[in-house]
């Protein structure tokens, strides 16, 4: 464990890391852990007060040479994406790691096609997917100069179809489609920029727990065995897995392995018919 820490400190000390969605949950913890490894961080989200608090804590974890900055921005707004990247580069120079973590939280309901649900789809795709692409575009020249890394924080809902949060799931499926394709293009063009897709299961954050409770409340008679697998993983462990995978330039990780998202997504690809058995008990009453 100690050896792992030393390895990552050696790789991350003095590196410049941009983290989106860092005012709470996974993004906030990422900021603390990156600073703990000696990196400089530039964080963003919409809530200014929360970002200020996170930055103050980052400063207390780091040393006086480390740079910790923030900018409030709404990833639903097209100009804010470029603004964040420009401000980060002005703040600490070129970007070594771009951590695309923010997400608009899902509304949980049975889909009926109502107008507000259609509007929610626009928000979800724009904030959770399109903005990731725009941030990547804005950071591309900088990442080329550093041979840097992009981390895309995805979800098991982007691999295995799940009911009641369809717009969220669609945005996470779309991330894989775009960024896995881009990884091939980078390779073909000999671009030395890594893309790490982190497929997360249920992680112990306030937002994660809220959504999980709402989804299970809507289920008919959930399969208790499958539910028992979905014990929330510790936030610190999830963040460690994200940093480790991104810094090691892995293509994709599934975390935590105990929730078997990888296995279920493989089974689904090999045997698509399995969905008719409704193993999770979504529709039984």
Ligand X SMILES: NC(=O)c1ccc[n+]([C@@H]2O[C@H](COP(=O)([O-])OP(=O)(O)OC[C@H]3O[C@@H](n4cnc5c(N)ncnc54)[C@H](OP(=O)(O)O)[C@@H]3O)[C@@H](O)[C@H]2O)c1
**Both tokens assigned to 48:** 């200014």
Tally of CB atoms within 10 A around 206: 10
CB of 2 to ligand X, least distance (A): 27
Q: Binding string to ligand X for residues 145 to 184, with x set by CB under 6 A, is what?
A: --------x-x-----------------------------
Min dist CB 56 to ligand X, Å, is 16
3-state class (DSSP) for residue 97: strand
Cβ atoms 265, 275 nearer than 8 A: no
CB nearer to ligand X: give 46 or 268: 46
Interaction of residue 21 with ligand X, rule CB under 6 A = yes
> Contact at 8 Å (CB) between 158 and 168?
no
Q: How far apart are CA 19 and CA 283, in angstroms?
A: 38
Q: Which helix or strand (DSSP H or E) is residue 200 part of?
A: strand 194-200
Count of residues touching ligand X (by CB under 6 A)? 28
- Considering only 186-194, 196-204, 253-261, 272-280, which stretch makes contact with ligand X by CB under 6 A? 196-204
Sign, Cα dihedral of 25, 30, 35, 39: negative
Consecutive H or E run containing 153: strand 149-155
Q: Is 203 in the site for ligand X (CB under 6 A)?
A: yes
Interface with ligand X includes 210 (CB under 6 A)? no
Binding status of residue 264 toward ligand X by CB under 6 A: no
Of the residues 36, 76, 93, 222, which one makes contact with ligand X according to CB under 6 A: 76
Among 8, 18, 69, 102, binds ligand X (CB under 6 A): 102
Output phi, psi for 48, to 5 deg: -60, -45
Active site residue 109: no
Contact residue for ligand X among 104, 162, 240, 247 (CB under 6 A):
104
Active site residues: 168
């Amino acid at each position: 464990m100690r050896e792992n820490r030393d390895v990552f400190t050696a790789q991350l000390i003095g590196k410049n890391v941009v983290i989106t969605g860092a005012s709470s949950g996974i993004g906030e913890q990422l900021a603390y852990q990156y600073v703990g490894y000696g990196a400089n961080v530039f964080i963003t989200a919409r809530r200014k007060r929360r970002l200020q608090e996170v930055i103050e804590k980052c400063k207390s974890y780091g040393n006086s040479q480390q740079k910790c900055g923030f900018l409030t921005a709404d990833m639903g707004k097209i100009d804010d994406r470029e603004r964040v990247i420009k401000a980060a580069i002005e703040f600490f120079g070129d970007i070594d790691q771009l951590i695309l973590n923010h997400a608009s939280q899902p509304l949980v309901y049975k889909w009926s096609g109502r107008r507000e649900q259609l509007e929610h789809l626009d928000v979800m795709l724009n904030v959770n997917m399109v903005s990731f692409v725009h941030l990547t575009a804005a950071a591309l020249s900088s990442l080329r100069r550093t041979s840097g890394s992009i981390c895309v924080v995805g979800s098991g809902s982007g691999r295995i179809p799940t009911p009641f949060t369809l717009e969220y799931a669609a945005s996470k499926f779309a991330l894989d489609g775009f960024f896995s394709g881009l990884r091939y293009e980078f390779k073909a063009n000999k671009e030395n920029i890594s893309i790490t897709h982190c497929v997360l299961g249920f992680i112990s954050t306030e937002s994660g727990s809220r959504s999980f409770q709402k989804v299970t409340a809507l289920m008919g008679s959930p399969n208790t065995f499958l539910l028992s697998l979905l014990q929330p993983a510790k936030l610190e462990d999830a963040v460690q897995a994200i940093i480790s995978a991104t810094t090691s330039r892995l293509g994709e990780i599934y975390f935590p392995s105990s929730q078997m998202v990888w296995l279920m997504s493989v089974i689904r690809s090999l045997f698509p018919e399995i969905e008719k058995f409704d193993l999770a008990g979504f529709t039984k009453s």
